[in-house]
Amino acid sequence: MVGSNIFELWEGGERKVLNKIRFIDLRYSELETFDLSMTPNLEKLNLEGCFNFFKLHIPVECPKLKFLNLIGSK
């Protein structure tokens, strides 16, 4: 979804836990926020160049996340 116009992943407050997701690449998208508690098994998150991105919720424990790229994000 590199360069997409997505600015939120869950529309209208409907949130789903994505247990099987291991890697998300949203480089240069319009995403504004991301909640890592919705992706408990995520290992890699690439938000490079997300110029509108301003909030990352990180739960107390996030043991599987090994790579986080926020270069060029707010």
For residue 14, the one-letter residue type is: E
Q: Distance from CA of residue 14 to its chain's centroid?
A: 16
User: What is the domain extent for residue 41?
Assistant: 11-69
Residue 58 in domain: yes
From 2, 9, 5, 13, select the one nearest 47 (Cα to Cα): 2
- pLDDT, tens digit, 9 for 90 and up, residues 13-34: 667 788 999 999 999 988 888 8
**Is 19 part of a structural domain of the chain?**
yes
Residue 4 resides in a domain? no
Please compute, for residue 25, the number of CA atoms within 13 A of its CA located in the half-sphere on the CB side: 3
Question: What is the value of pTM for the model shown?
Answer: 0.78
Residue 2 lies in a domain: no
Q: Mean pLDDT across the stretch 54-73?
A: 89
Q: What is the total count of domains within the chain?
A: 1
